[in-house]
Amino acid sequence: MRGALAALLAASLVLAGCSGDGSEPAGSPSADPDAPEVTELDAGPVGVAEVDGEAWTTLVRDGAVRTADDLRIDVGEFPLRLVDTPSGVWVSVIGDGTVVQIDSGTGEVLQTVPIKPTGSEPEGIAWDGESLWVVDQAGGRVLQLDGDGTKVTSYSTDTEPRLVAVGESGVWVANYGGSSVTRIAGGRVETAKLPGCTGPQGIAESAGKVWISCTLSGKVVVLNAGTMKQVGEIPDVPDADAVVAGDDSVYVVGQSGPTVYVVDPKTAEVADTVVLDDAPPTSENVGAAVVGADLVVTHPDVRKIYTVPLP
C-alpha cells in the first residue's frame, strides 16, 4: 500500500475539463492510472457520498446537490452532507433546517422535511440500514428518523455536534464544541470527553477502534470502540477533518493541500501521506468518501473534486 500510494506524490495532477456550465460531465481518465483525477467546478463542494457506484456532492453556496454527470439538484440554503439509502439520497440542509429526499434514479426531489423546532441545524447524516441519523448542531442532539423521514426519537449529545458515523458498536457523534464523542447503542447514550482534542469532527469506526479527527489540535485520537477509552493518538495531522474507514485502511483528510493520511488500523500509524494540491485550510470543511475503488475528496475553497485510486 505504501508503494502504490507513494507513487501519487510524484505523479503530476491531471486537471480534468471544467463542467461549470453543466453541459457535460467533468473529469477524464489520466494517462497515469495511479495519478489523482481532478475535477474543477464553478461552485465549492463539501459533502460527498457514493450513490449507485458514483460520487454525488453538495455544492454549499449554490444550494444544490451535484450528481456524477453534473446534474444540479436544488435543495435549499447551504446543503452540507448526504447519504444514500434504499428510499433515496438524503441531504442535510443546514441553512433551512431541513433534510431533503432525492430520487437517485431521476434526480427528483421527493420531499423536504423540516427539522423542528425552528432554528435546528442539520449537519452530519448517516444510515445504519434501518434508520437515518441526523445531527442537529444547534440543538445538541442527534435525531433518529425512519426511511420516510418520520422522527422516531432524538438523543442528546454534547455541545455543537458535527458529524455522525455508524459502526458495529453503535452510532457515533463527534461533538466539536464539547471536545467529546457520544455513542448511542441499544437506546443507551454515553458521552466521553477527549482531553487534548479541540474541535473533534470527522469520525469512523474500524477494527474495533473509533478514529476521531481533532481539527483545531491537528491530530487524530483513537478510542477502544467498546470501552470508549483512548488507546492511541496520531500527532502531526494538520487541520485534520474528514475521516473514512476503508476495507484495509483509515483515511484522514487534512484541509491543507488537501492531504490524505493513510492510517494502518492495526498499528494506528500513518503508513502513507498523499498531498493532492497546495490549497490552504478551508473556511468550511473538506469531505471524503470511498467510492468504488477510489477515495473521493472535496475542497470547497478551490472548487475541486479529487479522485484518488486506491491500491
Give residue 12's pLDDT: 34
CB atoms within 10 A of CB 129: 7
Instruction: Please write the tens of the pLDDT for every residue from 125-159.
Output: 999 999 999 999 999 999 999 999 999 999 999 99
Is the residue at 25 inside a domain? no
- Is 15 a residue whose pLDDT tops 90? no
Is residue 101 one of the residues assigned to a domain? yes
Grid coordinates representing 270 are 500513518
Residue 32 is predicted with a pLDDT of 63
Residue 106 lies in a domain: yes
Of 276 and 1, the one with more pLDDT:
276
Average of pLDDT values for 5-28?
A: 38
Judged by average pLDDT, the poorest of 19-23, 249-253, 300-304 is 19-23
Residue 58 is assigned to a structural domain of this protein: yes
Q: Does position 264 have pLDDT exceeding 70, yes or no?
A: yes
pLDDT in tens, 17-76: 333 444 334 444 445 667 899 999 999 999 999 999 999 999 999 999 999 999 999 999
In a domain, 28, yes or no: no
What pLDDT score was predicted for residue 273? 96
Return the CATH number at 250: 2.130.10.10
Number of domains in the chain: 1
pTM score, two decimals?
Answer: 0.89
The boundaries of the domain holding residue 137 are 2-13+35-309
Q: For residue 27, is it within any domain?
A: no
For residue 78, is pLDDT > 50?
A: yes
Task: Look at residue 26 and tell me if it is in a domain.
Answer: no
Residue 9 banded pLDDT, cuts 50, 70, 90? very low
In a domain, 108, yes or no: yes
Separation CA 160–CA 174 (nearest Å): 9
Q: Where are the alpha helices (DSSP H) in 76-175?
A: none
